[in-house]
Structure 1
Amino acid sequence: MLKRRRFKQTKTLHQRLADEAARLREEARALSPGRRREMLLRRARQDETAMQIDAWLHSPGLRAPT
């Protein structure tokens, strides 16, 4: 049976998403307008949206829908 390789994350999910979004925006800034640049900016926005969703899920005022 194969064992899963597990490792402990040293940064929080929020930090990893923020770092990735910043890296993608920096990479996109160096490119001229085009498909690759738009893809990088889209991924950066997705990371930022994921950060907002994570913050919402962990907020103390979160209530179940009624």
Structure 2
Amino acid sequence: MFLSEYGFSYTEKNINEDVKSRQELTEIYNSYSTPTIVIGEAVITGFDLEKLKKVLDIKE
């Protein structure tokens, strides 16, 4: 996974198996799709590589 390749740790939550995680996704982050990536105050819905690099301050 992208985050691991750059040395970032992360927690993966399975919304199909965990009701609490599904509620968190929809109620807190107002998202109904995966992946939804939360980094601090930033919420990235879908895999948006450019936005992810910007939030993580990755320069290539």
Same fold (TM over 0.5): no
Higher helix share: 1
Higher strand share: 2
Q: Give the alignment's TM-score, normalised by structure 2.
A: 0.28
Higher relative contact order (Cα pairs below 8 Å, separated by 6+ residues): 1
